[in-house]
Amino acid sequence: MRAITTPGTVLLLAAVLSNVSAARAAIPQKKEYLSEAEADKIRDAGMTGPRIVLYAKFAGDRIKKLQYEFAHMDPGDQKRTDRVNSLINSYAGCIDDAADLLDIGIEKQEDIREGVKALQAQIKEALPYLQDLAAKGPERETYKDNLDDAIEATQDAAKDVEKASKEMAPPPVRRKRLRQETAHVRLSDILRDAPVPVIEAAAAILLAQMYRRRLPAELRDLYRQFALAHSTRRHIARIRRKRARRIAHNPRGASHDLEPMFAALNLEYFDGSLRCPRLGWSARPWRSQFGCFDPSLDQIVMNNRLDREDVPSYAVELILYHEMLHVKHPLRAAACGLQAHSTEFRAEEKRFKQYERARKFLEHVR
C-alpha cells in the first residue's frame, strides 16, 4: 500500500494507515521449537542482524542432529520418527524466522550484513542435504510432508536472502523521500493485519528515521514485540508461501476435474458471468485450508487432499464455489488464510444447494 504525508503529521499518517487495518490480537508466543537457552540468546541479541546469525546457527544445529540420527539408526528405536520430524520442523522454524527478520532488519534500516552472510552459508549447506534426503533418505515416507515444507522454507529463504542483499546497500532514501516535502511510504505485509497501535508505532518509526528524531523507547518496543512475535512470523510465512506460488493451469486432478465443475457452478450460481482464473491443485496437501483464491496471481488453488475418490464432488464443489465467490468479490490480499468473510459472503455461500451436507463431510476430511 502507499500513503503520502507531509512533515510533522504523524497522526495523519497513522490515521491513513489505520484505515486499512483490521485489528488482530498479536500475543507474543513462545517459540516452541527453540530451547530455553536458545530463546534467551535470541532475546539477548537485541539487534536484528545478530538474531539472524543465531537462527542460522540453530538451523545448522538441527541439520547436524539430523545427520547424526541417520548415521546411528537403531531398528528398535520407536521414537526416531518423532525426533526426525521434530528436528525437520524446528529447522524450518529457524529458517522461516531468520528469513522474516531480513525484512524487519531492512525496514528498520539496521545493519544485517553478518546475518545475511550467515543465513546464505547455512542455506547453501542445508538445501542440497535436504533435497538429497527427499530423494533417497532412509524411511523418507515417514517425514516426507515436513521435509517438503522445510525444503520449501529453505528455497523461500534463499530468495529472501538474495533480495535482501540487493536492498541492503544504503539507498539515498531520506533525500528521495523528502523531495518536495512529500514522503512516499510503503508498508510491508507484516502490518496488514496489525493492531492499530502497532501501525502507529510503525508510522512513528518511519518519521523518526526521516527526520532523524529520537524514537520513544516504548514505541520501538511495541513495534518490535509485534514484529518478532511468533504468531506474526508464522502468519507471514504462511501467507507468503501460499501467495507467492504461481501454479500451472492443471484443473484435472486424479479424481476431480475442476474445469467442468467451474463451468457448471458458474452457470448455476453466477449466470455464467464469472471469468475463469487459472485452476489447479496444490502440489502437496495443506493442513489449514481447502482452497485459496489469489487475486494477484489470478488463480484458484485447491488442496489436493480433496482430490480423492472418496471425496464426493459436492464437497469439492462447495470449496470451489467458495473460492469463486472470492473471484466475484475480490480482496486486495490473497483470499487464503486469515481474512474475515463478511456476513453477505457467508449468506451467499449458503446458497450452495448441498451446503450442509458438504460442510458435514468436510469436517471429517483430514
Residues 327-346 touching Zn ion, rule: CB under 5 A, are 335
In the complex with Zn ion, the residue whose CB is nearer, 204 or 335, is: 335
Report CA 366 to chain centroid distance, whole Å. 22
In the complex with Zn ion, the residue whose CB is nearer, 114 or 349, is: 349
In the complex with Zn ion, the residue whose CB is nearer, 64 or 350, is: 350
In the complex with Zn ion, the residue whose CB is nearer, 226 or 293, is: 293
In the complex with Zn ion, the residue whose CB is nearer, 281 or 293, is: 293
What is each CA distance from 134 to 63, 144, 342, in whole angstroms?
14, 7, 42
Shortest reach from residue 153's CB to Zn ion, in Å = 24
Grid-cell match 470449496, residue found: 319
> Alpha-carbon distance 331 to 243, whole Å?
13
Pair type for strands 299-302 and 291-294: antiparallel
> Alpha-carbon distance 151 to 284, whole Å?
13
Total length of the chain: 366
In the complex with Zn ion, the residue whose CB is nearer, 213 or 351, is: 351
Residues 133-152 touching Zn ion, rule: CB under 5 A, are none
Helix spans in the chain (H): 10-19, 36-45, 48-71, 80-107, 113-136, 144-167, 173-178, 196-211, 217-228, 230-244, 258-270, 313-328, 343-349, 355-363
Shortest reach from residue 72's CB to Zn ion, in Å = 46
123 closest CA partner among 152, 90, 85, 146: 152
Q: If binding means CB under 5 A, how many residues of this protein chain bind Zn ion?
A: 1
Rg for the chain, CA atoms, rounded:
23
In the complex with Zn ion, the residue whose CB is nearer, 158 or 335, is: 335
C-alpha neighbours within 13 Å on the C-beta side of residue 125: 17
Shortest reach from residue 349's CB to Zn ion, in Å = 9
Shortest reach from residue 13's CB to Zn ion, in Å = 31
Which amino acid makes up residue 119?
L
Shortest reach from residue 249's CB to Zn ion, in Å = 21
Shortest reach from residue 21's CB to Zn ion, in Å = 19
> Alpha-carbon distance 168 to 107, whole Å?
10
In the complex with Zn ion, the residue whose CB is nearer, 225 or 289, is: 289
Shortest reach from residue 360's CB to Zn ion, in Å = 19
**Nearest to Zn ion by Cβ — which residue?**
335
Shortest reach from residue 341's CB to Zn ion, in Å = 6
Residue 279, beta-bridge partner list: 300
Pair type for strands 2-5 and 183-186: antiparallel
The residues that touch Zn ion, with contacts defined as CB under 5 A, are: 335
